[in-house]
Structure 1
Amino acid sequence: MTDIVVVEPFETSSHMLMSQVGNVRFGNTTCTYTNEDELIDLIGDADAVVTTSRGRYTPKVICAAKKLKIIAKCGALPNNVDLNAATKCGIPVTWTPGSNAVSVAEHALTIILSLIKKLPQTMQGLKQGEWHSEDKKAEELTNKIVGIVGFGQAGYHLSKLLTPYNVRILCFDPYINKDKVLSAGAEPVDLDTLLSSCDIVSLHCHMCEETFHLIDKGSLQKMKNNAFLINTGRGQLIDESALEIALKEKWIAGAGLDVFETEPAKKDNPLFQLDNILITPHMAGWTHEALIREARGASEEVIRVLKGEAPLNAANPEYTKYK
């Protein structure tokens, strides 16, 4: 019997679509599977694996799963999977592009509005008996300049959500056609121009060698001192130690983070002690609707591959078996 493992189950009814091509079993929801031996014990005999971003698919893990025909990642590009090892073993690694784009864009907008309206500070003050005060005066989003770094599907959807606020939108993405940016009502600019011009900077780019610590000390010093930095992309896009200094010394007005350099984020993260930051636990794409789309998309890729068909969204394009 074909063995299909859902390592971190979260939408079981959608995962059960795969029962038409094999037996579906689920991992332990309390385990992160960051330990190689734990993951090997779970998927060692599997023909197909469905995963999120938590488990670490190292060469050791991939090579130990001798029967594996596909690793189907739910959500964004599979940075937790060694693509070279998978390709050498003849295993396509798929993902579900755009499945959580609307949810992420909505979350980014929610953080933006919460920060400029000073909701975290005023809520905490009210609980302590304070009323509104001069130091907690809010701002309007209307007529602000918003910078979007990374104009994939989430960045694009954010630009559409911002339209009613009559904001000026600047965009930095060297890999997106300028006509697409302009047609969305945004202006393509270089990163330095965006950082120095914008009241709000929202990160929506993929994590790779090129984007690691894209926002570092130098980047933060280029931003306006009344600007807000938002990250719903990947934690390693920002150098957190530099951000801590920037927030403490008021280089920028504040930040809103849904993602962190180390996840799950630890409660002793020094950023959590600051009062000019809004934090959420990597939940921007964690909506009912997005999770259904992710689970269905990953499950459909498994079904295709186990039927001998080509996957639609392979992250390792050099893999040639289905070409």
Structure 2
Amino acid sequence: MKAFITAEFSSEALEELKAILNDEIVYESWRTTKNLYFKDEDLIRKIKEVDAEIFICEGDNVKKTVIENVDLKIIGSTRGDPNNIDLETATEKGIPVLYAPDRNTISVAELTIGLILALARKLHSVERILHSENEFEVNEFEDYIKYYNLFKGFELQGKTVGIIGLGRIGFSVAKLLLPFRVKFLVNDPYVNQSRLDAINGESVDLEDLLSRSDIITLHCPPTDETDDMIGEKQIKLIQPHALFINTARASIVDEYSLLDALKEKKIAGAALDVFSIEPVDQDNEFLELDNVIVTPHIGGDTFDTNHKHSMLMVNGIKQILNNQIPDNVKNPEVLKGNASVETQVKKDEFEDIEISLQNYARQGQQIINICNEMIDKGFIIGTAGNASARVKLPNGQDAYLVTPSTVKYEDMQVEDLVLIDEEGNTIVGSRNPTSERRLHQAIYREREDIKAIVHSHAPYSTALSIARMPIGPIVDEVIPFIGGCEVAEFGMAGTDDLANNAVDALGENLAVFIANHGNVGCGASLEQAWIVCQQVEMAAKIQYRAALLGTVYAIPEEAEEAEKEMFDIMKDLNFG
């Protein structure tokens, strides 16, 4: 079986394929010939001339007419999406179509990081000016200061990065950015929740992402849904200091609106690797702008990408010739008579994510803010109270971010928090976790709906817990929000007894009194858990003062039932 190859192949892959096909190969890389077959008749003539039964290409158009007029047995496209092949016609003729998924993920992701850093530190401006014949001249110290001010950039740490499309490339970009301690906003209607959890990203709509991000990077595919997704209206939402990176597809963005915004400095800068007219030539208007980095669609242009797609083709051909079904065949149904290949164990895309407290900085800062508010309100003294959030590890497992037991909350930083697993073992953190971690673990284990817990020693809640007095159906605004608040049986602080008693008394409510230990508020978020905690203290204060006046009268039973029904409705809204 003879192969005609116009895609670039690594020498190693080419030698291996020659061994498989007994040297029956005609190799004419488009990079060497500087030729791509766009006309059907030219490609038909060449394939017949070579007498090829295998054709592997990258940019040639293999249309219906071509496939119907040659006798190919295997077609390969070294693209991640083989849209240059008429897949329908190939399938009708029983021809397997190989492709190269994931071939350029790392290359494009690394280029994206390079572009972000170059824009942030104005390296493109530095390089242009210093290498220019007329622009760079330092004769006096004042001249140096002028350039020093001109080249001032910014750090990535603490910035908000908006990722549009959290597919393979978008996720790889996020992983590379994690060590920079950035915050992630993600817009992707089909987002993989495990990926979102792994980067501690916040899923938002497009408008929210554009208006809040310091850096915006595009990684979504070209579809009818994404065509002109970012037009003039959306571009106006971008902050003036923001950076815009597109290494995905030009069709996603209205180029003219982007060009105007960059000309008028309504966006600080952009890095573009894709354009509506390619290849890029000297007439590209973006080349005239000093706040734009232009690269001529080189995202996947690495030796490594070439070797990856080459080996994907070689292994695919080998498997088909051995009557097997490769992983990278686009239409496996044409090989239904073949034995399937055992899927190769793919690298876990989460295993190279280092777990650190900074991964959960958003929740960590919320915990710190709540603890400081508790101090201000007199709900806790020192560390006599605690808070936690249920978070996801990169592998998708649950973990809990909890307050430490040895740091004054007034001085607490994100680095002082502790990440524990479901068994209470420390995953990350130099401090000891709160002595009440068993309480948090027990509630999280029992109630999958609860994502955050705040435990306070608020004075009125503590008083009622000592008196073993639950919150009664007295304040009718409270029941719809918390359901009720019973008093747990006594247990020593930090013990399983206290934790289990609290779970029993909590039931399906959102709050519980811990005997002699104040209240616990739970919620679908830290914000909600803190609100519940405050609502309970407010109700406890009212009930305490009412009791001082004499008999405490409950609301009518039918009103209580109606409010409990309201609680169920609101719970579904908050936790649904």
TM-score, length basis structure 1? 0.90
Q: Which amino acid aligns with 2:123?
A: L
The within-5 A match list for 1:102-117 is: 102-117=106-121
1:120-175 per-residue CA deviation (whole Å, 9 max, x = no partner) reads 11222223315424343211111111111222222111111111111001122222
- The residue type paired with residue 25 of structure 2 is V
2:73 to 66, 69, 73: 69
Find the aligned partners of 2:164 and 2:180 in 1 and give their Cα distance: 19
Is the 8 Å Cα contact of residues 16 and 24 (structure 1) preserved in structure 2? no
Given that residues 77 and 95 in structure 1 are in contact (C-alpha distance below 8 angstroms), is that contact kept between their aligned partners in structure 2? yes
When residues 151 and 43 of structure 1 are mapped into structure 2, their CA distance, relative to the original with a 3 A threshold, is farther
The equivalent of 1:166 in structure 2 is 181
Aligned to 1:189: 204
> Aligned AA for 1:82?
D
Which residue is 1:35 aligned to? 39
* SS of corresponding position for 1:176: coil
For residues 269-314 of structure 1, the C-alpha deviation after alignment (integer angstroms, 9 at most, x for no partner) is 1122221110112222222222211111122112222333213123
Which residue of 1 is the match for residue 238 of structure 2?
223
Q: Distance in 1 between matches of 2:249 and 2:334?
A: 29
2:136 to 109, 129, 132: 129
More displaced stretch, 102-111 vs 151-160: 151-160
* More divergent stretch after superposition (291-300 vs 212-221): 212-221
Higher-Rg member (1/2): 2
AA partner of residue 5 (structure 2): V
- State the match for 2:21 in structure 1: 21
- What residue is the counterpart of 1:207 in the other structure? 222
Q: Which residue of 1 aligns with 2:83?
A: 79
1:155 maps to what in 2? 170
Matched, 1:322 2:336: yes
Q: Give the 3-state SS of the residue equivalent to 2:248 in structure 1.
A: coil
The letter for the 2-side match of 1:129 is F
**Aligned equivalent of 1:289:** 304
Deviation readout 1:196-232 (Å, 9 max, x if unpaired): 2111111122222322233322322222122111122
- Residue 91 of structure 1 aligns with which residue? 95
Preserved CA contact (<8 Å) 1:220 1:251: no
Q: Distance in 2 between matches of 1:240 and 1:275?
A: 17
Distance 1:280 1:305, change over 3 A: same
Residues 93/242 of structure 1: CA separation in 2 closer, same or farther (3 Å cut): farther
Whether 1:59 aligns to 2:64 is yes
Contact kept, 8 Å, 1:4 with 1:49, in 2: the verdict is yes
CA contact (8 A) 1:72 1:299 kept: no
Provide the rounded CA distance (Å) in 2 between the counterparts of 1:80 and 1:240: 24
Count of aligned residue pairs for this structure pair: 319
Q: 1 CA distance for matches of 2:190 and 2:90?
A: 26
* Counterpart residue number, 2:314: 299
Q: Whole-Å Cα distance in 2 between the matches of residues 36 and 235 of structure 1? A: 26
Cα 1:40–1:210 change in 2 (3 A) is: farther
Provide, for residues 18-53 of structure 1, a one-character-per-residue CA deviation record: whole Å limited to 9, x for no partner: 22136121125211223333322333442222222x
Relative to structure 2, which stretch is displaced further, 289-298 or 260-269? 260-269
Q: Deviations over 1:35-86 (max 9, x none)?
A: 333322333442222222x212222222222x22232222421222232233
What is the identity percentage for the equivalent residue pairs of Structure 1 and Structure 2? 35
Cα RMSD after superposing both structures: 2.2
How many Å separate the matches in 2 of 1:223 and 1:96? 35
Amino acid of the structure 1 residue aligned with 2:17: M
* Separation (CA, whole Å) in 2 of partners of 1:89 and 1:250: 54
Alignment of 1:7 with 2:6, yes or no, is yes
Are 1:245 and 2:244 an aligned pair?
no
Match for residue 46 of structure 1?
A: 52
| Structure possessing the higher relative contact order (Cα contacts under 8 Å, 6 or more residues apart) | 1
Measured in 2, the distance between the counterparts of 1:292 and 1:107 equals 18
Gaps of 5+ in 1: none
Q: Secondary structure at the match of 1:293?
A: helix
Residue 446 of structure 2 corresponds to none
Moved more, 253-262 or 21-30: 21-30
Read off the aligned partner of 1:322 and give its amino acid letter: K
Partner-residue secondary structure (3-state), 2:281: coil
Spell out structure 1 runs of 4+ moving beyond 4 A.
none
Matched position secondary structure for 1:222: coil
Match of residue 256, structure 1, among 256, 271, 286: 271
Letter in 2 for 1:242: S
The residue type paired with residue 294 of structure 1 is: H
C-alpha contact 2:105 2:172 (8 A) present in aligned 1: yes
